[in-house]
Amino acid sequence: MKKCLLLWLAFVLAASNVQAQKAVDSMRVFYRRGFHDVDPSFRDNRARLDRFLNSVDRALKENRVGKIVIRSYASPDGTAKANERLSERRAEELKAYLVREGNVPAALVEHHAEGIAWGMLRERIAASDVSYRSEVLDILDRTPVWIYDAEGKIVDGRKKRLMDLQGGEPYRHMLEHFFPDLRNSSNTALYLCVEAKGPEKEPQRTVSGISGNGEAPRLDATGSADGSVSHATALPTESPMERISGPVHPFPKHVIGLHAGYCASWIASYGLSSSTRPGYEADVTYRVGLSRRLPFYFRTGLIFIGKGYEINGFDDSRTAMNYLQIPVGIDYAVPLGRRWAVVPGAGLYYAVGVGGKREIGREAVSVFGSQGGFSRHDMGFSCGVDLTFSRFSLGIAYEAGLIDIDKSDTVYGNDSRMIGYKNVRNRCFLIRTGVNF
């Protein structure tokens, strides 16, 4: 008796908690046929992601998100295993996107591959004037997805009967007119829900997101394995939240990069020209998005770079200078499709010399010491552009020192015949490659 009572109590509590859930925002996501990546540049995904992520961001700031549930569906065409596999990968990618772009804690996001969206197909058939509509609806309503024989082998099923109906004429019509729409149009729904606490009447799930055809998307929105879509539902834990509109940038909010490359450096000095000296650089950079709509980034980091120059005909010297640099700048990402982007940027840098030497014949002195005469401190301007593919990048940059690094100003001669070190400033050209996270 006690066990029955406890089970009944648990059921009541669970039911009351479910009844308290209410949807207040949603989004549909469209996928390219055969791809599982969330592509903001495809169709109007960017605007949909903007609006929904802004709602999630507001709910997170107010500590009102209970969980976000992602459900991915498939259309009847294609093999069951392929549909399930692609549907699952799309759900996983959408979860990763929400965690990465919306700063949503991963523990709050659930994702599920729900299989073929028979419910959406039935609704579209019922609203159409397709031939043999009543027969199609009868199969959808009365035929199980799979029919087994006494030995447990599949001998028939819903899809097979649809394909066999009237020689396959209705199925071919659905394949041409309904399945493409399921795959590539308005078949993904992303829902933001609120879980209202306390006793209340059972609420109906309401959706405030708008689908591609201007109608509110349904909770059982579907898609296909080669173009299916996903829907996610965020479940805040307090009273229903007011819908929030406004853009949220679909670009990565935080980017950490590791790069290395080759540099050719020289100096600019009054009355003296130098040859370039090869060197290298390695850096770690951090970029943070400055805009929710435009891909502007503030960039900083730490760079180790080897600069230097060679003089021929004056003192026949070779100088090497190693610096730790801190860059500050602004970047702008220009997308070139699904994975490619061009990222120009410009800014300033501050550098501290950590070692180096000047060689004159067989003699070598510390370049930053009293004999070397160079200041450890440098500051300058930098600009460059990166070409990125997915996480990988290849870029070029130019750096120009803005301050005189020579403390001695060693100059010989006068007027137009002056020669030597005066107003010495670093110059550098870099080629680098790296990976971003």
Q: Is the pTM of this model over 0.85?
A: no
- The model's pLDDT over 108-156, given as tens digits with 9 standing for 90+, comes to 787 777 767 777 788 888 988 888 888 989 998 988 888 888 888 888 8
Q: To 10 degrees, the CA torsion angle through 168, 153, 75, 125?
A: 50
Torsion angles phi and psi, residue 340, rounded to 5: -95, 150
Please give the mean pLDDT across all residues of the chain: 75
Looking only at the bridges linking them, the beta strands covering 230-236 and 190-195 are: parallel
Name the residue with tokens 């400033």. 425
Average pLDDT score over residue span 332-357: 90
- The model's pLDDT over 294-306, given as tens digits with 9 standing for 90+, comes to 789 999 999 999 9
pLDDT for 226 beyond 70: no
Helix axes 80-102, 45-61, angle to 10 degrees: 60
Looking only at the bridges linking them, the beta strands covering 419-420 and 392-401 are: unpaired
What is the sign of the dihedral through the CA atoms of 72, 73, 74 and 80? positive
Task: Give the model's confidence band at 24: pLDDT under 50 very low, under 70 low, under 90 confident, else very high.
Answer: low
CB 87 within 8 A of CB 47: no
- The model's pLDDT over 245-271, given as tens digits with 9 standing for 90+, comes to 333 334 677 889 999 999 999 988 765
Predicted local confidence at residue 6, as pLDDT? 53
